[in-house]
Amino acid sequence: MTKSAWLVFMLFLSGCSDRPETTGFAGLVGDRDSQTQVPYLQPGPGNRLSFPADFGAHPQYRVEWWYLTANLETAGGDPLGLQWTQFRQAIKPRPVDAEPPPASEWPLEAAWMAHGAVSFKGRHHFAEKLARGDVGHAGATAEPLAVWLDDWQLSGPSGDGPWRLQVSADGWSYDLFLSINRGPVAHGNQGFSAKSASGEGSMYFSLVDLQIEGTVTLAGETLEVSGQGWFDREWSSQFLKAGQQGWDWFALHLDSGDRLMAFQLREDDGAFRSGTWIPAGEGPVALTPDQIRMAPIAGQGGYPRRWRLEVPGYGVHLEVSAPAGDYRNDGLYRYWESPVTVSGSHSGVGYMELTGYGN
């Protein structure tokens, strides 16, 4: 890591170190910047999504991310998994309609981090990039869509048409076109997704039916790929609640045409669960904690790689399995990010993210 990247990361951390961990999610509500008296905003059940604006940045919220996972196949039929995520961490809140400070002043109101990964034939390739905001190196706009960190770019036209995602790292790269076959799916209460029984949470929506085509280059070999993807947008001014140790998240494309998103936040005395059942050709159904059953079956290196996931009220009884291999994203924050296959009452593919295990 370069000295400049390390500096950005230390400043990134400074944005979330001014309050003790015991305040949890709720401790951030109403927090203000001491110089401008601009408050951080915090979403709640009364908030609503707005498009296309919510594809862009929310500078008055403390943290947000854009997140793509994809289950693809090569022309020869080999499965290939792919991830891209871009994070924004506010250091100073700013209303969305306020002009950013001039780049010539080298402002530091936000730090950005991006992750990219390719999983193919048991090998997991991962890269991480860091940048400061408002000086041209990283940012996000809604219309036309543009989310970038240096040469890693997600872009789209103002109207209909495919998005393009370009990521290049040491020894691998991908260039993909994403066609959106279904409008945004709001999770939770019309987009407000609770993350604990006491009601803390975030705004959260997904594009669950993306058709993807393009190329992936590994070790000098360029592969034609195609398949399906899942795109998430989430933002909040709250972090993990005190006592929450990490999370387990699943996004599944079932061969029946149904879709399922489910997660749990592990707590000292159990877990808080939530999810969305998206039947083929129908609207989404918000799942309550008591409608979801989730338990690990087997693990590797401290990470459970096989899970039992059930939504009995909708006849969903699944075993979710990661392929052989080590799928840790070994960056500044280590976590597991792998493609999965689904068996049981339904077959299919998807992605699994696990955090807070081991050291």
* Cα angle 6, 12, 17; round to 5: 120
Per-position pLDDT tens, the chain of length 359: 333 333 334 344 443 333 333 233 223 334 554 455 789 999 999 999 999 999 999 999 999 999 999 999 999 999 999 999 999 999 999 998 888 888 888 888 999 999 999 999 999 999 999 999 988 899 999 999 999 999 999 999 877 899 999 999 999 999 999 999 999 999 999 999 999 988 889 999 999 999 999 999 999 999 999 999 999 999 999 877 777 889 999 999 999 999 999 999 998 888 999 999 999 989 999 999 999 999 999 766 589 999 999 999 999 999 999 999 999 999 998 999 999 999 999 999 999 999 998 75
Write down the domain spans for the chain: 1-239, 241-359
The pLDDT of residue 15 is 39
The pLDDT of residue 19 is 34
* Cα angle 99, 110, 33; round to 5: 75
Buried-state track 25-45, b at ≥16 Cβ within 10 A, e below 16: bebbeebeeeeeeeebbbbee
Q: Nearest to residue 249, comparing CAs of 328, 125, 336?
A: 336
Give yes or no on whether 1-239 and 241-359 have one common fold.
yes
The pLDDT of residue 6 is 32
Superfamily name with CATH number, domain 241-359? AttH-like domain (2.40.370.10)
Contacts (Cβ under 8 Å, ≥6 apart) of 267: 196, 241, 243, 244, 245
Query: Strand, helix or coil at 354?
Result: strand
Instruction: Determine contact, residues 252/347, Cβ cutoff 8 Å.
Output: no
The pLDDT of residue 2 is 36
Strand partners, 57: none
pTM metric for this prediction: 0.90
Q: Nearest to residue 283, comparing CAs of 217, 208, 215?
A: 208
Which one-letter DSSP state was computed for residue 347? Answer: -
- In this structure, whether the domain defined by 1-239 belongs to CATH 2.40.370.10 is answered with yes
The pLDDT of residue 141 is 96
The pLDDT of residue 103 is 85
Cα gap 69→351, rounded to integer Å: 7
